[in-house]
Amino acid sequence: MQRTEIATLGEFGLIKHLTENIELKNESSKYGIGDDCAVMQYPAEKQVLVTTDLLMEGVHFDLTYVPLKHLGYKAAMVNLSDIYAMNGTPRQMVVSIALSKRFCIEDMEAFYDGLKLACENHGVDIVGGDTTSSLTGLAISITCIGDADKDKVVYRNGAHDTDLICVSGDLGAAYMGLQLLEREKRVFQSQKQEGTAAEDMAQPDFAGKEYLLERQLKPEARKDIIEKLAAAGIKPTAMMDISDGLSSELLHICTQSGVGCRVYEERIPLDYQTAVMAEELNMNVTTCALNGGEDYELLFTVPIGCHEQIEQIEGIKMIGHITKKDLGCALITRDGNEFELKAQGWNPLK
Amino acid sequence: MQRTEIATLGEFGLIKHLTENIELKNESSKYGIGDDCAVMQYPAEKQVLVTTDLLMEGVHFDLTYVPLKHLGYKAAMVNLSDIYAMNGTPRQMVVSIALSKRFCIEDMEAFYDGLKLACENHGVDIVGGDTTSSLTGLAISITCIGDADKDKVVYRNGAHDTDLICVSGDLGAAYMGLQLLEREKRVFQSQKQEGTAAEDMAQPDFAGKEYLLERQLKPEARKDIIEKLAAAGIKPTAMMDISDGLSSELLHICTQSGVGCRVYEERIPLDYQTAVMAEELNMNVTTCALNGGEDYELLFTVPIGCHEQIEQIEGIKMIGHITKKDLGCALITRDGNEFELKAQGWNPLK
């Protein structure tokens, strides 16, 4: 692959090269890249939503198996998912990158290709950012801005006793994808240590596990679910996206809403590949689904009266219900036992 | 100094600890920290301004001589300055930090003290962010959001032939402050290498150079200049803040406005301490003022008819004028020679 040093373009040249074909598509995007600030204008009835994520190499991603195009796509999705989790529509994004000398222009092109694809698919304008250098790894900071009608914004604190707990898609697959990639990385490294020639190395066999890889490397923020709920006239009472794991997120909703919950193990949506992989790794698949994280699915609560409507929406599963606070937060296992839910999800600072 | 490990609080505990006393003060701040997004609402006649900066340890700051409280203050100022440079008012800020195990809770308290002080002084609400870990140094990403009446926003591209070029404050001092700190760091390190006992080490003598240190360690975004211009009824034709150096920024304005310029060396505002320090270091003080950067002063152009009004505003200096494009961009030296202006400012990727 060609390798062109970033120094040949410099900061301003690189930014220009990566962003010159960007066209602003949202009515609210008034001025994009090129001045001290991006300029937006929103109608008075809209509320403006802002979310930000900082992704660090070695902590949030491992470039030995994550292609930069996928990284760009995922970095965008992580932020888009937070806008949808407020029942909003993402509109703009500012993207900052700090890179070391080991990255070349072609690397940044690949990253931006992924980023732009994600933005295109979700109707988002890249309106600014910062490009600078790093002494060590890659750092990516994205801030995403969206809007929503004032009466449509959904917080984490609105769940009520008897509400139904719903989740989109299936859980635990991204975590299984990560385990799979980490396993293959270990195999590769031990072969390398043993001095195996490149052509003799065992090639990773991902057959039958494509879904797990896709969920880890190319997650998709659930715009479709927000649209389906709106079409059905349903406004969730509380909502958030599942990034740290179902348990952790459910506890956030319950704490902030001042309620308890009951979740049924048998109702937690799992993909077949997730179950097979958990078996293969001798892990409990429910634990993976509860605590794995990086699902970027939506977790939300709706009034019990929405039961039939929700049942008819494809891709949404009712997994339990909200209770009074003093009943606590518990998982009901397949055999009818009750376990207290604990946040064992990803915590970068523990 | 006390040192409490961050792991004792974890991510959510740390965020709560650092942000629990934050009160939202702006009418436009509807919901701050604690959900998937911050929520804002702006009047329809306002445009919304967004700027972002990513600061990396070892590239943008050196913790051997930058106290964390100052770093928090400066990280905020860098962003506030960009909002003022659009003739706007900063309103909200989201703050992301990635930190390694070497940082403790007290470090983060100091950083947040500086951040909060800056926000308090400028009426800005901290509404969100991301706190995560880093394998190596500290990374700080701040996105600042402001607003401005639609007809008041000032871009870089509005300068016209005959406009006056103005600059606030004085230039080059922050760069001299950096040289001073770097020099003392080298002295300290060489004493350490020679095994000098701590009590025998020469203490850095900053007497008479306090202004240079303050300009480097605790810059102040020029809210006052924006207010004075508004009070005088002056709307600049073009404006930006000086972060990379006067030369570099002037060229941005000229390129984007399709004009040329003449700047007079004798008119470039310099502080006495800057001149003394340049002499001491055997550097050309004009070069420092043109290319040093980190001044966070405002560079702007006004119609020639504003000459008398500008003259009466304290803290603003007219340093030259805009010309037709084909005359190019030049500095007129004290002895009347003309030199082409070049962007030799800070470029992190060269």
Question: Which residue has 């990385």 as its token pair?
Answer: A185
What mean pLDDT is predicted for residues A32-38? Answer: 96
Contact B92 A146 (CB under 8 A): no
Q: How far is A54 from chain B (nearest CA, A)?
A: 6
B350: confidence class by pLDDT, cuts 50, 70, 90: low
Averaged confidence pLDDT in chain B: 94
pLDDT at position A141 = 98
Q: How far is A348 from chain B (nearest CA, A)?
A: 6
pLDDT at position B22 = 93
Full-model pTM? 0.95
- Closest residue to A127, CB basis, from B50, B135, B157: B50
B11, B91, B141: best mutation site toward chain A, by most A Cβ within 10 Å?
B141
Pairing of strands B46-56, B139-149: antiparallel
pLDDT at position A346 = 60
Q: How far is A7 from chain B (nearest CA, A)?
A: 5
B160-180 pLDDT, tens digit each? 999 999 999 999 999 999 999
Report, in this order, helix, strand and coil percent for chain B, each rounded to 5: 40, 25, 35
B37, B132, B150: best mutation site toward chain A, by most A Cβ within 10 Å?
B37
User: In angstroms, rounded to a whole number, what is the distance separating the alpha carbons of residues A274 and A281?
Assistant: 11
Give phi and psi for B127, each to the nearest 5. Answer: -115, 0
Crossing angle for the helix pair A68-84 and A223-231, to the nearest 10 degrees: 30
User: In angstroms, rounded to a whole number, what is the distance separating the alpha carbons of residues B140 and A52?
Assistant: 12
Give phi and psi for B18, each to the nearest 5. Answer: -80, -25
Residue B310 has pLDDT above 80, yes or no: yes
Count other C-beta atoms under 10 Å from residue A273's C-beta.
20
Q: What are the DSSP calls for A259-324, one per residue?
A: -EEEEEGGGS---HHHHHHHHHTT--HHHHHHH-----EEEEEE-GGGHHHHHTSTTEEEEEEEE-
Contact B137 A132 (CB under 8 A): no
Question: Which residues lie across from A332 on neighbouring strands?
Answer: A264, A338
Q: Is the dihedral of CA B339, B342, B345, B350 positive or negative?
A: negative
A163-174 pLDDT, tens digit each? 999 999 999 999
Q: Which two tokens stand for residue B276?
A: 């003394």
- Closest residue to A137, CB basis, from B88, B132, B136: B136
> Interface pTM (ipTM) of the complex?
0.94
A183-241 pLDDT, tens digit each? 999 988 888 888 888 778 777 778 899 999 999 999 999 999 999 999 999 999 999 99
B270-286 pLDDT, tens digit each? 999 999 999 999 999 99
Q: Is the dihedral of CA A40, A44, A46, A47 positive or negative?
A: positive
Residues of A in contact with B39 (CB under 8 A): 47-49, 86, 153
User: In angstroms, rounded to a whole number, what is the distance separating the alpha carbons of residues B10 and A248?
Assistant: 13
Q: Which runs of E-coded beta strand occur in chain A?
A: 29-31, 38-40, 46-56, 89-99, 125-133, 139-149, 164-168, 238-242, 260-264, 297-302, 316-323, 329-332, 338-340
Question: Which residue has 């293969």 as its token pair?
Answer: A280
Pairing of strands A338-340, A29-31: unpaired
Contacts of B316 (CB under 8 A, 6+ apart): B166, B167, B168, B225, B228, B310
User: In angstroms, rounded to a whole number, what is the distance separating the alpha carbons of residues A6 and A67?
Assistant: 19
Q: How far is A38 from chain B (nearest CA, A)?
A: 5
A6-10, A199-203, B242-246: segment of lowest average pLDDT = A199-203
User: In angstroms, rounded to a whole number, what is the distance separating the alpha carbons of residues B167 and B239?
Assistant: 10
Count other C-beta atoms under 10 Å from residue A210's C-beta.
11
User: In angstroms, rounded to a whole number, what is the distance separating the alpha carbons of residues A82 and A141?
Assistant: 14
A345: confidence class by pLDDT, cuts 50, 70, 90: low
User: In angstroms, rounded to a whole number, what is the distance separating the alpha carbons of residues A112 and B169?
Assistant: 39
pLDDT at position B347 = 60
Q: Which two tokens stand for residue A289?
A: 């689904």
Averaged confidence pLDDT in chain A: 94
- Closest residue to A132, CB basis, from B44, B54, B153: B54
Closest to A41 measured CA to CA, from B145, B94, B79: B145
Q: What is the three-class DSSP state of B56?
A: strand
- Kindly tell me the burial class for residue B18, based on how many C-beta atoms sit within 10 Å of its own C-beta (0-12, 13-18, 19 or more): buried
